[in-house]
Amino acid sequence: MAKRQIDIVAKEMGLDDNIKKYLQRVERCLIVSIPILMDNGKLEMFEGYRVHHSTIRGPGKGGIRYAPNVTLDEVKALATWMTLKCSLLNLPLGGAKGGVCVDPTRLSRTELEKITRRFTSEILNIIGPDIDIPAPDVNTNPQIMAWIMDTYSMNKGRSIPGVVTGKPIEIGGSVGRESATGMGLYYVLDALCSRENLDLKSQKVVVQGFGNVGGTIAKILFEKGVKIIAISDISGGLYNKDGLDIKSLLEWRDNKHLLKDYDNDNYVYINNDEVLEIKCDILIPAALENQIHKANADNIECKIILEGANGPTTPEADEILQNKGIIVVPDILANAGGVCVSYFEYIQDIHSYFWKLDRINQELKNIMVNTFEEVYNLAIEKNLTLRIAAYIISISRLEKAIELRGIFP
């Protein structure tokens, strides 16, 4: 899917075939085995991955996810999108990604720490502040980043907070990092509504996903007076045409409950497929890849799709949505707030000087809105989709970097 998106844009912009070949391959992949002595005394083997797609513009940057269905191809694609995302925002970073094939919900805290520390030890030589800076992703969090930082630091003989971002604030993390992706989504959506002459407060919103990203954007919009008419998690979703009480649902989620168990007679339970097909103004897929595809794209009824997840829309679905007149704000723009504030955290760690929240949010807003305006203006000027426009800007910067540096040897 990531390769096909590059193919489509390459044709549109007349990209040199050598550059296209370069961008459709990753620089390096490390596959590691992670032996763990479980709490019951049995040895279990897990598989982990770390991929560098491109470091042509700077150190790799990208999250680590823990999930039972993680594959090397998935990690390669996610690393590719990270390269494009960092280039689009004009950050001096490349793209990387990591994953461990494990269901973390079935692990004790001790087992989770063992897996994290052993995985870190196995990828030790290809991460670091000047090489590749991991971050949280699906099913990973600040505590896991703290274990990675500690393991790396112990092996290097000194404290190195800049090896990861998304850490707890007490050991070099940044304020505003946890809400950054959701905050970035809001800044982009607000700017889009302004350009499209839409009153955001009068729009009805559906959010697929109730984790960090989906929960944060839902909370921000709810506090701004926007109606969230449906939201979902792994167990399914809840719908109410008059709007959901997001504050109450967040409290329910934070107490380790699933939405399917939430008791409210005014809310209708729906499955995860139905969530995407509810008629609304703004649909925010903030779960996993490939959620909007050829089979369901024609059933989607909204004005705007704001991609909170990475790769939620397939190329086939993109074409259908374009024909329906739906504006799709691509992932490499919409959800880039996370990597943007990760970059701020990285800078703060390197200089040992930390910013206040108002500066974080102002710098984030400036970058997100300026990038959106650049993409939107190109799309209008050349009659392109926002995705194609974003990819052209991103790939053009990578193309220039490759040309300037040349091909070694």
Which residues are part of the catalytic machinery?
A: 97
Which residue pairs from 146-153 have beta carbons closer than 8 angstroms and sit at least 24 positions apart in sequence? 146/171, 147/113, 147/116, 147/117, 147/120, 148/64, 148/116, 148/120, 150/117, 151/116, 151/117, 151/120, 151/121, 151/124, 152/120, 152/124, 152/127, 152/128
Rg (CA), the chain: 21
Residues sharing a CB contact under 8 Å with residue 295, sequence separation 6 or more, in sequence order: none
Q: What strand order describes the sheet that includes 60-67? A: 28-37, 43-54, 95-101, 60-67, 132-136
| Cα angle 342-345-348, degrees, rounded to a multiple of 5 | 155
- Taking CA atoms, 28 is separated from 76, 99, 308, 387, in Å, by 9, 15, 27, 27
Which strand (E) or helix (H) includes residue 281? none
DSSP lists the bridge partners of residue 353 as none
3-state secondary structure of 48: strand
3-state secondary structure of 194: helix
